[in-house]
């Protein structure tokens, strides 16, 4: 009988197996897209997985006028539309019976009085022990305002063993100065252990598995450094455009929207030193050290090591798509970038002189997110008298989206009388070994907030360090407007200057490189 695959026999139990404790969730911006597309489906998935407490309820708050019944009807309709799988009527009814609503303007003190009154009643009804968490699914301009109003209403005060927490969506600031200002404002009423700055990329299993992969396997960590690694590529490519967020995106752009948060998180998890434990601060201490160690860019560095782009019209999935400047809410002469590529260095002992190439953009050829570690080539001397013309580099690739897994690319001899080498891949897919559970990427993050685990959330110093990397690029790009926008067609891999960024170093992008 053939030996069974060990992973088929001995599989690790899920890390999150106990329901969260009693609590109330308040969603500011409860009628918006984020709530409908991500938060409510994620809560339903947590319910289906048995991870919500029986003593749980949701209070939605927004400027729209709804009764509880009308809001529940909207939730029912949108969950049916955006759920990640089939919806069980009994579970849906359980959730709807725990959903309530209050309306009002976010800058109106009367709204917070109504919120406090409803929470007090719901706390009694569902016996949630005074445990509340507030999710800011609003425009960033309201983050400080809502925090201040909640503080004035006493809703953030923790007493008699109860807890109060706040989840803040990105973007957290628009530059270093505004991020520091926002941190200062919210810390007037909140302790750092109450603040959960969310980055939904960290809800992806492959990203979290970086810690287990790196530090739980003895074969990788010894070569995870400058002696063996030639360079690192991190790609976050999207096929979507700005969708209905043209107005927001005009003020943000891809650099602000992706680099100080998503990309810095991927860099820090790739490069961090082993933490002393899996406690939240131990992990985040090491992540913060990496971001602080990124070499600051001077103006001349930005000119040579930063590339920006904006998509024109093109074809994606055999369908014609319009240029960014024709998107709703976008200026016809917009200078906003929809693509960014950067070459960074980390000034610490492990990574000194190793280039890190970051690339992210919209309307690209395919949806693809990966971290690729290219190792240094082996010496060629052994093969000089063989038909082998050159040795190709080895890659270790962390696949994050759309398929989650890990692959290793190396050379092997092609069968035959001559010494010829061919590239082969060993690939592990999560779905093949552990199965998949449809998710939005928010399930783990919501659950972790409920149980008080901040490991996957950004700390204040990490946020500010990320903006420190981005600020010099923002400053120069503001001072020197682009002259060639749009400079890449939708459905491509970005502007030619992005390929040139690597070609100057004798490298090319692993996916979509020219």
The secondary structure of 291-354 as a DSSP string is: HHTBPPPPHHHHHHHEEEE-EESEEETTEEE--GGGSTT--TT----SEEEEEE-B-STTTTT-
* In a shared domain, residues 303 and 431: yes
Please report whether residue 18 resides in a domain: no
* In a shared domain, residues 148 and 232: no
Joined together, the tokens standing for residue 465 give: 């360090």
Look at residue 7 in the predicted model and tell me its pLDDT. 37
| Domain closes at, from 169, 189, 214 | 169
Phi/psi of residue 92, each to 5°?
A: -60, -45
Band of the pLDDT at 514, cuts 50, 70, 90?
Answer: low
Q: What is the CATH number of the domain that holds 103?
A: 3.40.50.720
* In a shared domain, residues 285 and 398: yes
Kindly report the average pLDDT of the chain as a whole number.
90
Find, among 89, 173, 115, the residue nearest to 466 by Cα.
173
* In a shared domain, residues 139 and 211: no
- Give CA angle at 437 (454, 206), nearest 5°: 50
Please report whether residue 197 resides in a domain: no
Least confident range of 58-62, 208-212, 334-338: 208-212
* In a shared domain, residues 254 and 138: no
pTM of the model: 0.90
Please report whether residue 421 resides in a domain: yes
Joined together, the tokens standing for residue 336 give: 């906003």
* Residue 313 predicted with pLDDT over 60: yes
> What contacts 241, CB < 8 A, 6 or more positions away?
311, 321, 324, 327, 338, 362, 363, 490
* Residue 91 predicted with pLDDT over 90: yes
| Domain encompassing residue 490 | 202-436+459-503
Collapsing DSSP states into helix, strand and coil, what is residue 4? coil
Q: What is the pLDDT of residues 159-193, one digit of tens each?
A: 889 999 999 988 889 999 999 999 999 999 999 99
* In a shared domain, residues 214 and 312: yes
Look at residue 9 in the predicted model and tell me its pLDDT. 31
Please report whether residue 493 resides in a domain: yes
* In a shared domain, residues 149 and 256: no
* In a shared domain, residues 253 and 321: yes
Percentage with pLDDT > 90 across the chain: 73
Band of the pLDDT at 77, cuts 50, 70, 90?
Answer: very high
Q: What is the CATH number of the domain that holds 268?
A: 3.30.360.10
What burial class does residue 443 get, using C-beta atoms within 10 Å of its C-beta: 0-12 exposed, 13-18 middle, 19+ buried? buried
| Element holding 81 (H helix, E strand) | helix 68-82
* In a shared domain, residues 114 and 54: yes
- Annotated catalytic residue: which of 262, 292, 399, 409? 262
* In a shared domain, residues 254 and 396: yes
Joined together, the tokens standing for residue 257 give: 């929207």
**Across-strand partners of 340?**
308, 360
Band of the pLDDT at 364, cuts 50, 70, 90?
Answer: very high
Q: What is the pLDDT of residues 186-239, one digit of tens each?
A: 999 999 999 999 887 777 776 778 888 899 899 998 999 999 999 999 999 999
Please report whether residue 81 resides in a domain: yes
* In a shared domain, residues 80 and 218: no
* In a shared domain, residues 73 and 146: yes
* Residue 26 predicted with pLDDT over 60: yes
Please report whether residue 11 resides in a domain: no
Band of the pLDDT at 53, cuts 50, 70, 90?
Answer: very high
| Domain closes at, from 169, 191, 212 | 169
Rounded distance between C-alpha atoms, residue 203 and residue 145, angstroms = 27
Q: Is the CB of residue 74 less than 8 Å from the CB of residue 23?
A: no
Rounded distance between C-alpha atoms, residue 3 and residue 471, angstroms = 56
Q: Which of 168-172, 205-209, 409-413, 450-454 has the highest mean pLDDT?
A: 450-454
Residue 496 a catalytic site member:
no
| Element holding 136 (H helix, E strand) | strand 132-136
Band of the pLDDT at 16, cuts 50, 70, 90?
Answer: low
Dihedral of alpha carbons 441, 445, 447, 448, sign: positive
Q: Which of 75-84, 349-358, 439-448 has the highest mean pLDDT?
A: 349-358
Look at residue 12 in the predicted model and tell me its pLDDT. 36
- Contacts of range 319-322, beta carbons closer than 8 Å, 24 or more positions apart: 321/241, 321/363, 321/490, 321/491, 322/490
Q: Give the β-pairing of 368-375 and 395-401.
A: antiparallel
| Domain closes at, from 169, 188, 220 | 169
Joined together, the tokens standing for residue 458 give: 């950004």
Please report whether residue 444 resides in a domain: no
Please report whether residue 333 resides in a domain: yes
Buried b (16+ CB within 10 A) or exposed e, 382-415: eeeeeebeeeebbbbbbbbbeebbbbbbeeeeee
Looking at the structure of the chain, the number of domains it has is: 2
């Amino acid at each position: 009988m053939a030996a069974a695959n060990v992973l088929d026999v001995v599989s690790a139990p899920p890390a999150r197996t106990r329901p969260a404790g009693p609590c109330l969730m308040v969603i500011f911006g409860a009628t918006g897209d984020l709530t409908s597309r991500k938060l409510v489906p994620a809560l339903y998935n947590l319910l289906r997985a048995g991870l919500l407490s029986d003593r749980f309820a949701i209070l939605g708050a927004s400027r729209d006028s709804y009764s509880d019944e009308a809001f529940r009807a909207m939730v029912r309709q949108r969950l049916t539309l955006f759920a990640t799988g089939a919806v069980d009527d009994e579970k849906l009814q359980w959730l709807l019976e725990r959903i309530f609503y209050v309306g009002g303007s976010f800058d109106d003190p009367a709204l917070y009085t109504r919120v406090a009154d409803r929470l007090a009643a719901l706390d009694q009804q569902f016996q949630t022990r005074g445990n509340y968490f507030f999710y800011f699914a609003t425009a960033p301009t309201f983050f400080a305002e809502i925090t201040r109003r909640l503080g004035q209403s006493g809703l953030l005060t923790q007493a008699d063993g109860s807890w109060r927490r706040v989840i803040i969506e990105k973007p957290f600031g628009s530059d270093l100065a505004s991020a520091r200002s926002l941190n200062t404002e919210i810390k007037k009423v909140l302790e750092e252990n109450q603040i959960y700055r969310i980055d939904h990329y960290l809800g992806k299993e492959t990203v979290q598995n970086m810690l287990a992969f790196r530090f739980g396997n003895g074969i990788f960590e010894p070569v995870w450094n400058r002696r063996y690694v030639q360079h690192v590529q991190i790609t976050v490519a999207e096929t979507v455009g700005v969708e209905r967020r043209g107005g927001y995106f005009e003020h943000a752009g891809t650099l602000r929207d992706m680099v100080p948060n998503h990309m810095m998180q991927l860099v820090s998890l790739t490069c961090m030193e082993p933490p002393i434990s899996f406690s939240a601060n131990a992990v985040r201490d090491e992540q913060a050290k990496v971001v602080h160690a990124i070499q600051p860019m001077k103006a001349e560095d930005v000119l040579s090591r930063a590339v920006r782009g904006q998509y024109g019209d093109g074809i994606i999935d055999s369908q014609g798509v319009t240029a960014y400047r024709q998107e709703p809410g976008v200026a016809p002469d917009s200078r906003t970038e929809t693509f960014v590529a950067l070459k960074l260095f980390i000034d610490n002992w492990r990574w000194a002189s190793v280039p890190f190439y970051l690339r992210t953009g919209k309307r690209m050829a395919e949806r693809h997110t990966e971290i690729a570690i290219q190792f240094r080539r082996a010496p060629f001397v052994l093969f000089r008298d063989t038909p082998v013309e050159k040795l190709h580099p080895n890659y270790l690739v962390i696949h994050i989206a759309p398929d989650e897994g890990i692959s290793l690319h190396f050379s092997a001899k092609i069968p035959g009388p001559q010494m010829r080498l061919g590239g082969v891949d060993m690939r592990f897919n999560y779905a093949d070994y552990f199965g998949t559970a449809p998710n939005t990427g928010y399930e783990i993050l919501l659950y972790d907030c409920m149980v008080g685990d901040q490991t996957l959330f950004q700390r204040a110093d990490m946020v500010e360090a990320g903006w420190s990397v981005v600020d010099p690029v923002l400053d120069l790009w503001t001072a020197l407007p682009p002259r060639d926008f749009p400079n890449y067609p939708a459905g491509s891999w970005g502007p030619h200057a992005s390929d040139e960024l690597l070609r100057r170093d004798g490298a090319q992008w692993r996916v979509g490189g020219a």
